[in-house]
């Protein structure tokens, strides 16, 4: 039976009409099929208003942590390069004095790292080139004092994923963007997915983010996160761009991997036993985190009330999100540039996310 997305479309159009967001692209995948892929509103409103189409590429911000860094860590764990309970200092010499900082805890945002530090200020003020900027910010993140005792709680941390990006590069032998293209994007045919400045973004329609007060310009195809910018646009915590169709394709491949199969009957993107291990709750007190991915809270989740509490997902500061229920082979992609033309906090957007998810899942008859 055909799904009725009338309510979904009404919610989306109202959010644009009310000025909550400039526009949004919503995608729903089910059992390898795209059930919905639609665009509402505008790609940009400054300097002039331009309409939005489903192929527009967005800055995914912290979705980078889940769909690049954690997946590449999965590859290394599957290949025996790292063990989840290894101290990071076993592989990153600058953390050798912190044996309680383990790979598992870093993935679960429970390794003691502070949430965020404006390292970019030092790099930009010193006029450091991007290659040296990457090294400098990794060094600064490694030297930052721990904010709490590792393993006692979760504190969402960019610093931890900056260091995990360095771990991946050292262990897999390449820069993060090159590794992601080789092991993730190219095998899945994701042609509109890449880091800032990559060939995949050339000639694409891009959703601008904000008029950055530090850089003094409207950002289009340039990573919004300032620490990632100071690292040359390629970092473990931010920097990835993609469109909704590619994210649905990636989510479908991960649902297939959950069953230990791959696209078109090929090898799974990630071994099932590794993916299932990463997508289990991490067991940190009071936390919904898995390893590199989050899970919906019991109540009040931004994923909504319908989605299974065993699902996984991630949010991005720019207004993007991805949620996956691998058991039922369902994925929901929401792409917006909430931060255009200026970054702001709007409680109406916080209410919109779960409402859209619930309406979309209701429309396809999903029962989590």
Q: Is 17 left (phi over 0), alpha (psi -120 to 50) or beta?
A: alpha
Q: What is the pLDDT of residue 134?
A: 94
Q: What is the pLDDT of residue 368?
A: 80
| Percent of the chain whose predicted confidence (pLDDT) is above 90 | 93
Closest residue by Cα to residue 241 from 253, 230, 249, 233:
233
Q: What is the pLDDT of residue 286?
A: 95
Backbone angles phi, psi at 57, to 5 degrees: -95, 135
pLDDT at 366 over 90: yes
| Percent of the chain whose predicted confidence (pLDDT) is above 70 | 100
Kindly report the average pLDDT of the chain as a whole number: 96
Half-sphere exposure of 113 (CA within 13 A, CB side): 29
pLDDT at 26 over 70: yes
For the segment 114-156, what is each residue's pLDDT rounded down to a tens digit?
999 999 999 988 888 777 899 999 999 999 999 999 999 999 9
pLDDT range class, residue 2, cuts 50, 70, 90 = confident
For the segment 309-359, what is each residue's pLDDT rounded down to a tens digit?
999 999 999 999 999 999 999 999 999 999 999 998 899 999 999 999 999
Structure tokens at 158: 């960019």
The answer to whether the beta carbons of residues 208 and 57 sit under 8 Å apart is: no
Instruction: Please spell the DSSP secondary structure of 260-282, one letter per residue.
Output: T--GGG---SS-HHHHHHHTS--
The least confident of 196-210, 219-233, 262-276 is: 262-276
The least confident of 232-246, 253-267, 315-329 is: 253-267
pLDDT at 4 over 90: yes
d(CA 208, CA 116): 23
Question: For 354, which DSSP code?
Answer: H
In the chain the domains, ranked by start, together with CATH numbers, are 6-363 (3.40.710.10)
Question: For 69, which DSSP code?
Answer: I
Q: What is the pLDDT of residue 264?
A: 73
pLDDT range class, residue 1, cuts 50, 70, 90 = low
The average pLDDT across 218-244 equals: 97
The answer to whether the beta carbons of residues 13 and 364 sit under 8 Å apart is: no
Q: What is the pLDDT of residue 239?
A: 98
For residue 84, how far is the Cα from the chain centroid?
Answer: 21
């Amino acid at each position: 039976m055909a799904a009725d997305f009338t309510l979904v479309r009404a919610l989306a159009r109202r959010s644009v009409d009310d000025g909550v967001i400039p526009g949004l692209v919503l995608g729903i995948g089910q059992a390898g099929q795209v059930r919905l892929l639609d665009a509402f509103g505008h790609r940009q409103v400054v300097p002039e208003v331009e309409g939005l189409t489903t192929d527009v590429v967005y800055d995914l911000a912290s979705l980078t942590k889940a769909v690049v860094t954690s997946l590449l860590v999965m590859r290394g764990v599957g290949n025996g390069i790292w063990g989840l309970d290894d101290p990071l200092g076993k592989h990153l010499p600058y953390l050798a004095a912190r044996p309680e900082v383990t790979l598992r805890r870093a993935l679960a945002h429970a390794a003691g790292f502070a949430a965020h530090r404006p390292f970019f200020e030092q790099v930009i003020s010193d006029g450091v080139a991007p290659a040296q900027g990457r090294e400098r910010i990794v060094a600064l993140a490694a030297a930052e004092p721990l904010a709490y005792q590792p393993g006692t709680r979760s504190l969402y941390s960019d610093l931890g994923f900056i260091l995990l990006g360095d771990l991946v590069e050292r262990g897999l032998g390449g820069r993060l963007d090159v590794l992601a293209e080789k092991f993730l994007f190219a095998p899945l045919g994701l042609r509109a997915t890449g880091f800032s400045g990559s060939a995949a973004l050339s000639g694409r329609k891009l959703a601008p983010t904000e008029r950055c007060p530090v850089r003094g310009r409207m950002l289009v195809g340039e990573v919004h996160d300032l620490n990632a910018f100071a690292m040359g646009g390629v970092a473990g915590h931010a920097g990835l761009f993609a469109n909704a169709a590619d994210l649905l394709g990636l989510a479908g491949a991960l649902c297939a991997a959950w069953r230990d199969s791959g696209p078109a009957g090929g090898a799974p993107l990630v071994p099932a036993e590794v993916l299932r291990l990463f997508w289990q709750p991490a067991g940190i007190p009071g936390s919904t985190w898995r390893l590199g991915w989050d899970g919906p809270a019991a109540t009040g989740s931004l994923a909504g009330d319908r989605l299974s509490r065993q699902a996984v997902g991630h949010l991005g500061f720019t207004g993007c999100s991805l949620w996956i229920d691998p058991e039922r082979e369902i994925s929901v992609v929401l792409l917006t540039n909430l931060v255009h033309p200026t970054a702001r906090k709007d409680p109406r957007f916080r209410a919109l996310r779960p409402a859209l998810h619930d309406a979309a899942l209701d429309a396809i008859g999903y029962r989590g």
